[in-house]
Structure 1
């Protein structure tokens, strides 16, 4: 019994010591001034919309740029709130470091596809299925959707198809353009091969494209990629090919 009490007291003292050590380690000197901002912008390979100078300028304009201010008076939630108002920022996380710096991590909105329709509209659909502002400039390749593209169709059906393409390395590299016909039938323009892929409705697209991939491997690799002008995947398990001149 005495041994158990002794072990309990030792364990309690160790816990108290660790709590005190962590508290002292994280304690900042009174009046500590922020001396630097560590700014990390995520998704620069796929987006590249938001720059370091832009974030700095935005915070300076609002009068809340942290450098030179007392750390205890800097409200990280205020920084997050103001940066999250930016139309090209998805979310922001800000926190203070023991050394007196403010770390800001910015996640940008990532475009899935670009729409350039018959109405002359030009915009991106992002990774959440919402329309990005027209001033967004994407540095990464994104498939282009043309033709009879309504915004509702782009934000729902084309968005889902764009996510599928982005998550599939083969088709993301192969498909260059999505063309929407009247009635929302869809054609695809590939990067390799001088043919048009007719999907029909955006239904069972994964299965349709899987059949086409097998056809590519077993047929086109033998007869040549430019033999057909049109490859239709519209019906069931069929692949209907049209030769040039037919």
Structure 2
């Protein structure tokens, strides 16, 4: 009799254990909630115009802000797609972290020239040859393009010149203004020296500027940087200088 009672108790305990175990297995785990959003902005040395606040505001307006939502319901591809539409963002990558945060890595579009044309157009040109809005908060020194600037000319020819400046420390520091004359002829206003550099067409501008730099080193360092008002390197293998009137 006692054995039967003990056996019944053991069976009841086993059944109770199995019931608890099955219930625990079937119970849904507590959903992890997105606690915060981390924003990493790359290339801030050149431009720093994308902020965490701006990104958060944009996502809130679109109704896809991740903060406070279950992580499994957050669609990272949707967030990437919406942020990629921003006129100042080049690339964006979004992913969830084990700590319950959403990490967003943004690559900014890097402006290389500021265009302020005679026809009233005002914009930046980026390092991929596309136009950026003028309200970009650019923190880098950029040469300003003025004069008769057609957008097609800026996006093709001036873009190449801007990339050259970006990669050439000497001329990037020296060229303050690029003025486009009629016929798409170009003259430069340098930071050092009270003179203009007339390039004419932009064709072969690398060789033309090599001649100017050599002239700087061999002549202007001897006679003075303000002796000439104009340095013309339009034609191959010659430099035509106009003396400053006294």
Q: State the shift of 1:90 in Å.
A: 1.1
| Pair 1:83-2:115 in alignment | no
CA distance in 2, matches of 1:177, 1:102: 43
2:180 aligned residue: 180
Deviation at 1:30, TM superposition (A): 5.4
Instruction: Give the unaligned 5+ runs of structure 2.
Output: 1-28
SS of aligned partner of 1:183: helix
CA distance in 1, matches of 2:30, 2:152: 55
Aligned match of 1:166? 166
Q: How many aligned positions are there?
A: 218
Instruction: Give the TM-score normalised by structure 2.
Output: 0.85
SS in 1 for 2:188: strand
Mean Cα deviation higher: 235-244 or 133-142: 133-142
Please list the CA deviations of residues 180-211 of structure 1 after superposition, one character each: whole Å capped at 9, or x if unmatched.
11001110000000110010100111111111
Alignment partner of 1:245 is 2:245: yes
Alignment partner, residue 226 of structure 2: 226
- Counterpart of 1:212 in structure 2 is 212
Match for residue 121 of structure 1? Answer: 121
Look up the match of 2:197.
197
More moved, 60-69 vs 221-230: 60-69
**In 1, distance between residues paired with 2:92 and 2:144?**
29
Distance 1:106 1:120 in 2: 31
TM-score normalised by L of structure 1: 0.85
C-alpha distance in 1 between matches for 2:138 and 2:33? 37
SS of 1:149's equivalent in the other structure is: coil
- Once residues 189 and 82 of structure 1 are traced to their aligned partners in structure 2, the CA distance between those partners, rounded to angstroms, is 41
What is the CA-CA distance between 1:97 and the residue it aligns to? 1.4
Aligned-residue offset at 1:63: 2.1
Match of 1:44 in 2: 44
Aligned to 2:14: none
Q: CA deviation at 1:82?
A: 1.0
